[in-house]
Amino acid sequence: MKQQAPEIRCKGLGVSEGIVIGQVLRMVDGASQVSRWSVNENDLENERQRFRQAALIASERLRTLRDQAGGRLGKDHAYILDAHVLLLEDEKLLGDIAEYITAERVNAEWAIKVIGDRLTTLYSEIKDDYLRERGSDIEDVMQRLLTALSGARPEDLRLAEDAVIVSRDLLPSALAELDLEHAQALATDSGGWTSHTAILARGIGLPAVVGLRDFYRRTKTGDRIIVDSNRSEVILHPSTQTLAEYQKQTGQTSARRKAVPVAERGAFCTQDGVEIRLRANVELPAEFDTVEKYGACGIGLYRSEFLLARNGLTVSEEEQRIAYEAVARLAGEAGAIIRLFDLGGENTRSHFREPEKNPALGLRAIRFGLRNDSVMRRQLRAILLAGATGKLKIVLPMVTDVSEVRRVKAMIAEEIDKLKNDGQPYGDVPIGAMIEVPAAVMMAEKIAACVDFFELGTNDLVQYTLAVDRGNDEVADWFRTLHPAVLEGISRSLNAAQHAGIPAIVCGEMASTPAYAVLLIGLGATDLSMTPSAMPRVRRTLAAIDSASARSIVEECLACESADEVEYLVHSRLGSCWPQLFPASSLPKPRPSQ
């Protein structure tokens, strides 16, 4: 009879709502501390035997896991595990490790670590994002060998349909690769509200808690776990009592997750008759059916970078055209806005020969496109061609003034001429500017005069306005979405668009939080783009408020002197205006001042 492990509660940040009771499925085991010791000549044979024995045990265990996974998690997961089984039985790999033990007269653990590191280093030099990240497979296998050597027995190695993915940092491509039908929730050590993985999790409606720091190492695959994103918490080995409490709650949550809001689609009005549109932010093909499911008014932001995740910058015009046509089809009459490759920071690491010292301020987004003429032109042509089959718009990321817009417009005109000469059909594609850096806000009136629409990227606008890295935990206290400077920037941009008579779409994560969405309406926004799964909440909220009250709250906010003051104000005013929508617990709590 095994002993019941004590309940462990761990606080993180709930980035995608929902509660899930499930079993841990660890992904990408990390390197653990391994020590080195010398082995006597006489004991070398024993050491090699010990290693071979461990390899047998590890592969035996993994085979069992794989066979169970085949049925429960779907074939694709099973094949990943099969690759690991094959590695554990690979004579080249095992031979290299055994030889190292002999040659260096060291313990098996150290040999595994050295050979493993060598291989992962080789992997890290591969010039392909997708394959390079697969170096994690090697790490995973090495970790299994070490576990087997240590004599630890992973208990209850079962993979079930209630798999909760637990990892240190799940790379976007790894998330993309998952069979999302079977993953129920996500818990990671790193990441924040706006990390790529969090955005994707929200996109596919996968409950997620991130920023759990050192949670991963405490878990084993098969452990019972509760992910409570609403409380920003995960509970490992929940007690019988905790489990019972949660089982009561989740009866409701899972029903909610399956409910399809059929009646809720298209534009709708606030109580005082302001028409609101909710559009979809999408990236992965896996998210596509959520656009229809949640009744989005077309696609407000298509993050085209996913096309590069697999093939890098060489992605062909043809492949892109096919992808954009699919996006246009999906968006229908309301159309889709394609953001040109927004490369830089977390989604690029690899495209630069050397890492930049300050990537957030580096050669990224539109700058990268202007520098890499052929990449940009290929993308523009593909969009123009796809534009012949549906309604597409282009938005330029990280614009700072009109010169960037003009340069891209000139390129588009040239590409149109070429298409005309070749007799190829193309579509009329409006051009918009992403307003996401302070310079663009300050130049908003001038930029508005030379584009067809604005799109406000609030994630980056907060980061650049406040000069706070959103991925850096140390300065998380300074990342204040409700900073008066941010609200001022949004206000100015929306006004500039209004005066120029062009539409403005607010597309950052801010729009997907009901309380913030109310403020955006107060600031004059009527067109929001967000992760589709957030739409029902935002729609319910905005349909129940009146824009006049929202405006008066915002006016008070704009007069505030600090983020603390705004947060306090929002907390009390939303609660008193619409208590049924904003019970005290649902609002972002004001933080104590620093």
C-alpha distances out from residue 481 to 344, 420, 519, 529, Å: 22, 46, 11, 17
Q: Is 483 a catalytic residue?
A: no
**Shortest separation between residue 398's beta carbon and other proteins, angstroms:** 25
Of the pair 115, 482, the CB lying nearest other proteins is at: 115
* Alpha-carbon span 458 to 508, nearest angstrom: 4
Tokens 């949640």 found at: 294
Cα 281–chain centre separation:
12
Applying CB under 8 A, does 76 fall inside the site for other proteins? yes
The H helix count followed by the E strand count for the chain is: 23, 17
Cα 43–chain centre separation:
50
Q: Which residues pair with 10 in a beta bridge?
A: 234
The residue within the footprint of other proteins, chosen from 7, 44, 56, 82 (CB under 8 A), is 82
**Shortest separation between residue 243's beta carbon and other proteins, angstroms:** 35
Which listed residue (77, 84, 182, 196) is catalytic?
A: 196
* Alpha-carbon span 134 to 83, nearest angstrom: 11
The residue within the footprint of other proteins, chosen from 44, 50, 56, 130 (CB under 8 A), is 130
The alpha-helical segments, DSSP class H, found in 150-239 are 172-177, 196-203
Helix (H, G, I), strand (E, B) or coil at 194: coil
Applying CB under 8 A, does 44 fall inside the site for other proteins? no
Applying CB under 8 A, does 64 fall inside the site for other proteins? no
Applying CB under 8 A, does 80 fall inside the site for other proteins? yes
Terminal Cα-to-Cα distance of the chain (whole angstroms): 51
Which listed residue (10, 84, 237, 507) is catalytic?
A: 507
Applying CB under 8 A, does 99 fall inside the site for other proteins? no
The alpha-helical segments, DSSP class H, found in 5-74 are 44-72
Count, residues near other proteins per rule CB under 8 A: 31
Applying CB under 8 A, does 92 fall inside the site for other proteins? yes
Tokens 């790999």 found at: 93
The stretch among 77-85, 429-437, 471-479, 490-498 that binds other proteins (CB under 8 A) is 77-85
Site string for other proteins, 442-481 (x = CB under 8 A): ----------------------------------------
Of the pair 80, 554, the CB lying nearest other proteins is at: 80
* Alpha-carbon span 583 to 472, nearest angstrom: 31
Q: Of all helices (H) and strands (E), which one includes residue 543? A: helix 535-544
Site string for other proteins, 312-331 (x = CB under 8 A): -------x--xx--x-----
**Shortest separation between residue 127's beta carbon and other proteins, angstroms:** 8
Nearest residue to 537 via CA among 519, 516, 513, 520: 513
Applying CB under 8 A, does 126 fall inside the site for other proteins? yes
The values of phi and psi at residue 425, to 5°, are -75, 135
The stretch among 34-42, 81-89, 434-442, 479-487 that binds other proteins (CB under 8 A) is 81-89
- Binding residues for other proteins, rule: CB under 8 A, are 76, 79-80, 82-84, 86-87, 90-93, 119, 122-123, 126-128, 130-131, 134, 137, 285, 288, 307, 310-311, 319, 322-323, 326
Q: Which residues are catalytic?
A: 196, 507
